[in-house]
Structure 1
Amino acid sequence: MSDTPSPEAPTDPLSLPAHPEQTGGRSVGVLLLHGYTGSPASLKPWARALADHGYAVEVPLLPGHGTRWQDLNRVSWTDWYAEAEAAFDRLRESCAAVAVTGLSMGGCLALRLAEERGDQVAGLVLVNPFVSSIRTELTLLPFIKHFIPSMRGVTNDIRKPGQDEHGYDRLPLKGLAEVTTMWKVVVPDLNRVNQPLLYFRSENDNVIDPSSSPTILHGVSSTDVEERTLDNSYHVATLDHDAEQIFAESAEFTARVTAT
């Protein structure tokens, strides 16, 4: 039997330690949260770029993901939040300051952490966060989820060729109903979010409609807000043509908001 370890599976969680010698002697952590039906694969290049700056990173695999799509019909949004909060607490055990980032549904979870954990969250970086929709068919989810297990998936909305977020090819409807249930908790409390916010939005997004942007930007109480429009990326912008911009600007943002 070979002693060579097997390659890391794309859906595996990722945890890398801080290197304070690269960050002025301070241990700084960043939590990265993936989207619905996605996986840590959508965030690992971003996480490794942040680790190269000396930041500790945690990229948890949210419950129901990375196995079979049917498993997303067996979990609740509070299961996802519990996993996000546990990863956040692991970072806080070893870091003086922690920033939180999220892609798509992960952005909604990041906002909930900011609402619940207050100044323990040093700053927020959101990439195409998903907290609302104008699609009227979503109002039918409480009914149709009992009769239709899933629909065609929305994974790999990436303009750049050859990329794969290793998500499900089906969209589980009971799980999607949990996403909309989470909105009903998070959106009314957006005024509790007062942390610095860096917001990336793709100009062309084939997964979510534009309604989440005004919902968040008009709802938070943050006074330190920077919005960036990505012209060359689709929904999974962290694997797309504008990824390097996200990596560089989020590293600079994290350095700034954790400096004191």
Structure 2
Amino acid sequence: MNLDIYNQDIRLIDPICSPVFKVNGKRGVLLIHGFTGSPHDMAYVAERLFSEGFTVSVPRLPGHGTNHKDFLNSTWRDWVRRSIDAYLDLTNFCDEINVVGLSMGALLATVVTSSFKAKKLVLAAPAFKVTDWRLKFTPLMSLFVQYREKEPPVFDDPSLNKLAQEYWNKVFIKPAAQLYKLQKIAIKSLEKVESSTLVIVTQKDNTVPLSVLDVIREHLKSEFKTVVLEKSAHPVTNDVEKELVAEKIVEFLSN
């Protein structure tokens, strides 16, 4: 096997990006992170659920949490396959399984739930609709450019700075085209979802508009509950209201 593609920039996955699997009873929860994210974004909610008696699984999606070259070589099929595998792994430990997804993870959670009939579904800042109108043009744009550089955010945490240098200092065109394909598939999958559903959105989301609720109402046949946050930015499971988000998810999945 030729491992030359794994150059010196690829090291062991940082601990904050490592997948989580913690067994604590027969009620399971699969938590799926978003586009350019990592299990770190779901860690707080997962730990809270674990403390409440749930077995939790937070997979690391292919291409995420390593480097941008991995990301450029991953596709929506890879992300769906990993999500399905993680769901099936949980069936070996749990009698019931719930699925929680953030942003693109909510799209994956919808696809999984529509196929396997999870007991409950939580869609956090679900990317069925995004504010960036250029997304629909990415399949064409990706034929000419894979990404463009931008100024990365700066963090006190070295692990987050490493992720920023690999993922958050670029506008990814090629992976965004994969996200666009997944978005269309997930919207169709909504029509097959029969599980009780909780949708969490935030007024300060610059990525997913509140009008995403209209998309869900149009395509989801069953009723759903909604939580509208006031202070959080897009990554609601890992932002200033993460305690409230965790509380709402625990309450929804426990009842």
Q: TM-score range by the shorter chain?
A: 0.7 to 0.9
Query: How large is the RMSD of aligned CA atoms in angstroms?
Result: 2.5
**Offset of residue 75 of structure 1:** 1.6
- Unpaired stretches in structure 1, ≥5 consecutive residues: 1-5, 21-26
| Alpha-carbon displacement from aligned partner over 1:56-81 (angstroms, at most 9, x marks no partner) | 00000000101111222212101101
**Offset of residue 134 of structure 1:** 5.6
Of 45-54 and 126-135, the range deviating more from structure 2: 126-135
Count of residues in Structure 1 that have an aligned counterpart in Structure 2: 238
**Offset of residue 186 of structure 1:** 1.9
Name which of 143, 146, 149 aligns with 1:146. Answer: 143
Q: Which residue of 2 aligns with 1:23?
A: none
Supply the distance in 2 between the matched residues of 1:148 and 1:243 (Cα, whole angstroms). 36
Residue identity opposite 2:16 in structure 1: P
Contact 2:202 2:210 (C-alpha < 8 Å) held by counterparts: no
Contact 1:17 1:55 (C-alpha < 8 Å) held by counterparts: yes
Q: Which residue of 2 aligns with 1:129?
A: 126
Matched, 1:80 2:79: yes
Of 243-252 and 145-154, the range deviating more from structure 2: 145-154
Supply the distance in 2 between the matched residues of 1:154 and 1:33 (Cα, whole angstroms). 27
Instruction: Label 1:154 to 1:64 Cα distance change in 2 as closer, same or farther (>3 A).
Output: farther
Residue identity opposite 1:11 in structure 2: C
**Offset of residue 155 of structure 1:** 8.5
Q: Which residue of 1 aligns with 2:37?
A: 38
Supply the distance in 1 between the matched residues of 2:70 and 2:14 (Cα, whole angstroms). 22
Extract structure 1 runs of 4+ deviating beyond 3 A: 133-136, 151-156, 161-167
The residue correspondences of 1:95-106 to structure 2 (distance < 5 A) are 95-106=94-105
Supply the distance in 1 between the matched residues of 2:253 and 2:139 (Cα, whole angstroms). 39
**Offset of residue 211 of structure 1:** 3.9
Q: Which residue of 2 aligns with 1:10?
A: 16
Residue identity opposite 1:86 in structure 2: D
Q: Which residue of 2 aligns with 1:226?
A: 225
Q: Which residue of 2 aligns with 1:247?
A: 246
Q: Which residue of 2 aligns with 1:60?
A: 59
**Offset of residue 153 of structure 1:** 6.6
Supply the distance in 1 between the matched residues of 2:230 and 2:238 (Cα, whole angstroms). 14
Q: Which residue of 1 aligns with 2:216?
A: 216
| Alpha-carbon displacement from aligned partner over 1:18-76 (angstroms, at most 9, x marks no partner) | 2x3xxxxxx10000000001111111111011100010000000001011112222121
Percent identity at matched positions?
27
Residue identity opposite 2:182 in structure 1: M
Of 232-241 and 100-109, the range deviating more from structure 2: 232-241
Residue identity opposite 1:181 in structure 2: K
Instruction: Label 1:195 to 1:64 Cα distance change in 2 as closer, same or farther (>3 A).
Output: same
**Offset of residue 193 of structure 1:** 1.1
TM-score by length of 1: 0.84
Query: Counterpart of 1:226 in 2: which secondary structure?
Result: strand
